[in-house]
Amino acid sequence: MVEWRIGNAVITHVGELLGLASLPPERYFAGFERNALAQHLEWLVPNHYSPLHDRMVSSVHSWLIRTVRHTVLVDCCAGNHKERPAFPRFHRLDTPYLDHLRQAGAVPEDVDVVVCTHLHADHVGWNTTLRDGRWVSTFPNARYLISRVENDWGDPRANAAADADSQRSNAYRDSVLPVIEAGQVELVDAALDIGDGMLVEPAPGHTRGHIVLKLADGAHAAVFCGDVVHHPLQVCTPDLNSAFCELPREARITRHRILKYCAESGALLFPSHFGWPHVATVTRAGEGFSLRWIEGDAGGQQDGGASRRRT
């Protein structure tokens, strides 16, 4: 497994899916223009865009963070055996995700905090597993941190709009409601310090109650940004939203804010859907930003090296 280090914290990539997005770029992004893609083909191909298929490359993964006192999992991917007929990529999966978690050095019982950046189906699926015909918590000793705004809007029992959205409603019923009923959910109203240099903050736009996790240890820092930045092309063109952003204006504002924070602080960016090598540093570049890939190390020590740089 590949690891990065932020001070004393060890961060491991836990993969579920890696492949081509199901939608062409014009539908994957809102307001997409081909020249934006053409300007960045040199570094987007092959890990982040396939010209042969005209599809963006998309990973679905979690981040496992092990600090002195905590074992934290950021986002829980799509999950196995979930009914997602409107999303074939996530429908009735049977992946070895939990084996990957064990290879990363943790078993489900070790996880004491799960951070759900938002409640889209590909971020909450492994919150629960199917056992004897019932959805039960995958991480029995964890508290699940969910934005109160996100939960209130996404609960199909209380919101007809969420009930009509099959991605949200199905995911809520099989992957969120069971952990609420188990008493494991803590609804987050504002910034929340969870210890060991980790801070949950509101980051609305992609969804109404989206949150991010910041980690700081001395001079080292990281941001686990969920879908604030959905694809690396958005680092260089930060006004470009994904087609799935619910509040377009707020999504752009939040994206600029997070990227500015990374550029000014040196914090590494840990997104949920970037293809290999998944992690980057961010610097200012004109009206936007540029990125430099930071490869983790399979031997357990971050090398800090760059695999490819966009200049």
Q: Look up the domain containing 141 and give its range.
A: 9-293
Segment 265-285 mean pLDDT: 97
Is the pLDDT higher at 168 or at 196?
Answer: 196
Cross-strand partners of 164 = none
Residue type at position 132: D
Q: What is the pLDDT of residue 299?
A: 54
Q: What is the pLDDT of residue 307?
A: 32
Number of structural domains in the chain: 1
| Domain-embedded: residue 91 | yes
Segment 73-101 mean pLDDT: 96
Instruction: Look at strands 113-115 and 71-74 and give their pairing.
Output: parallel
Angle subtended at Cα 204 by Cα 262 and Cα 243, rounded to the nearest 5 degrees: 95
| Domain-embedded: residue 197 | yes
Q: What is the pLDDT of residue 200?
A: 98
Q: What is the pLDDT of residue 309?
A: 32
| Domain-embedded: residue 114 | yes
Q: Which of 217, 290, 248 is nearest to 44 (CA)?
A: 290
- Contacts from 36-42 at CB under 8 Å and sequence distance 24+? 36/233, 36/237, 36/240, 37/233, 39/236, 40/233, 40/236, 40/310
For position 39, which CATH number holds? 3.60.15.10
Mean pLDDT of the chain: 94
Segment 196-219 mean pLDDT: 97
Report helix, strand or coil for 262: helix
Segment 10-23 mean pLDDT: 97
Is the pLDDT score of 301 beyond 60? no
Q: What is the pLDDT of residue 166?
A: 81
| Domain-embedded: residue 307 | no
| Domain-embedded: residue 303 | no
| Domain-embedded: residue 305 | no
| Domain-embedded: residue 90 | yes
